[in-house]
């Protein structure tokens, strides 16, 4: 099984811009992804200026400043079938435009990261994945990243979701672009 990470399709032009989530105490702390309660409480966000609106409206995945992934309505419909995400409505403002996304709580946590070698930019990963999964966070470093499996990537590609996937070299931690 291969290991992937996700990126927004706008990253090439927006240089890694994020959505800043606001007005939600549970989301202000990036550890909220581990919170037992993750209710709809008027989650809102502001897209950073570097985004290009025409790309943002067709993105099916957007990164946030609080490590909580945002998915489009289309992605929510497709990804609900994997049973490893909980979705909560989020209104994202970009200037005067409001867009509807869904904050995704990743339900599965696995031992994926082996270590963070001193002086290295990326962690190293375990060669063996402990169990079958669609999408997960690392059990020890849950705010570092979100990880996708082959079958998650295949589901997204089959449904033509606008998400970029990076294949992770588990020995070096470096990424190679898949889509």
The confidence score (pLDDT) of residue 78 equals 97
The confidence score (pLDDT) of residue 31 equals 41
Residue 80 · residue 129 · CB < 8 Å: no
* Predicted model pTM: 0.85
98 to each of 30, 47, 53, 56, 102, how far by Cα in Å? 23, 10, 11, 11, 13
Picking from 107, 106, 102, 105, the residue whose alpha carbon sits closest to that of residue 45 is 102
The confidence score (pLDDT) of residue 28 equals 46
As given in the structure block, the two tokens for residue 25 are: 């105490």
The counts of H helices and E strands in the chain are: 5, 14
Q: Give the rounded distance of the alpha carbon of 101 from its chain centre.
A: 12
Domain boundaries, the chain: 4-177
The confidence score (pLDDT) of residue 19 equals 81
The confidence score (pLDDT) of residue 102 equals 93
The confidence score (pLDDT) of residue 22 equals 64
Average pLDDT per run of 10 along the chain, which is 179 residues long? 84 62 53 47 81 90 87 97 91 93 91 80 77 89 86 96 89 71
């Amino acid at each position: 099984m291969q290991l992937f990470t996700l990126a927004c399709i706008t990253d090439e032009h927006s240089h890694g811009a994020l959505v800043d989530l606001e007005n939600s105490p549970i989301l202000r702390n990036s550890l909220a992804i581990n919170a037992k309660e993750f209710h709809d409480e008027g989650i809102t966000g502001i897209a950073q200026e570097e985004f290009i609106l025409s790309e943002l409206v067709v993105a099916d995945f957007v990164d946030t400043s609080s490590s909580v992934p945002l998915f489009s309505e289309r992605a929510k419909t497709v990804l609900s079938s994997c049973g490893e995400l909980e979705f909560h409505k989020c209104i994202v403002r970009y200037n005067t435009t409001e867009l509807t996304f869904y904050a995704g709580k990743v339900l599965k946590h696995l031992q994926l990261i082996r270590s963070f070698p001193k002086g290295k930019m990326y962690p190293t990963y375990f060669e063996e994945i402990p169990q079958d999964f669609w999408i997960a966070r690392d059990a020890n470093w849950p705010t570092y990243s979100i990880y996708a499996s082959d079958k998650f990537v295949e589901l997204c590609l089959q449904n033509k979701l606008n998400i970029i996937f990076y294949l992770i070299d588990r020995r070096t931690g470096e990424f190679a672009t898949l889509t």
